[in-house]
C-alpha cells in the first residue's frame, strides 16, 4: 500500500490525489490541507452526512462489544445476589458472550456491503 509523503500514513490507492510533481504520493486529506486540490476535486472525501452514516454503521457493528462488559459489570455489582433472577441473567450473559463473536463474523458481509454502498466511486484517470 502506498504511503503519503506528507503525513507518512498508509492508505489504499483510492485515498490519494492524482498527478505528478507536488501531487505525487499525497493523500486526499493532506492535499486538501496543503491546498493542492479543492474539495470538489477530492470526491472521495466524505461529507458530514456520509461521515455520520458510516459512523452509525460502525457503531452498530461494534456496539455488542461495549454492551457485554457493561452487562457483566451490572451482573457482578447488582444481580449476582438476587435469586433466582441472578442465575437467569447469568445464563443469558454466558449465551450472549458466546454468540457475540459468531454474530460479529456472520454480519461481516452486510457490514462490508453497507460500507461499500456508502463509499464514493473512485474514478481512475487515464494512464493510471
3-state secondary structure at position 32: helix
pTM score, two decimals? 0.64
pLDDT reading at 15 higher than 60? yes
User: Residue 10: what are its φ and ψ, rounded to 5°?
Assistant: -105, 125
Q: What is the pLDDT of residues 104-125, one digit of tens each?
A: 999 999 999 998 888 766 666 5
Residues 6+ apart with CB under 8 A from 97: 68, 72
- What's the pLDDT at 124? 62
Nearest to 124 by CA among 18, 47, 38: 18
Amino acid at each position: 500500500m502506498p504511503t503519503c509523503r506528507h503525513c507518512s500514513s498508509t492508505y489504499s490507492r483510492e485515498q490519494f490525489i492524482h498527478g505528478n510533481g507536488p501531487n505525487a504520493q499525497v493523500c486526499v486529506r493532506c492535499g486538501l490541507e496543503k491546498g493542492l486540490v479543492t474539495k470538489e476535486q477530492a470526491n472521495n472525501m466524505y461529507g458530514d452526512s456520509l461521515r455520520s452514516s458510516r459512523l452509525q454503521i460502525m457503531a452498530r457493528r461494534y456496539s455488542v462489544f461495549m454492551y457485554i462488559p457493561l452487562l457483566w459489570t451490572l451482573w457482578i455489582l447488582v444481580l449476582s445476589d438476587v435469586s433466582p433472577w441472578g442465575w437467569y441473567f447469568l445464563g443469558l450473559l454466558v449465551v450472549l458472550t458466546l454468540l457475540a463473536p459468531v454474530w460479529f463474523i456472520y454480519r461481516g458481509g452486510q457490514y462490508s456491503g453497507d460500507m461499500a454502498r456508502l463509499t464514493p466511486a473512485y474514478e481512475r484517470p487515464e494512464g493510471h
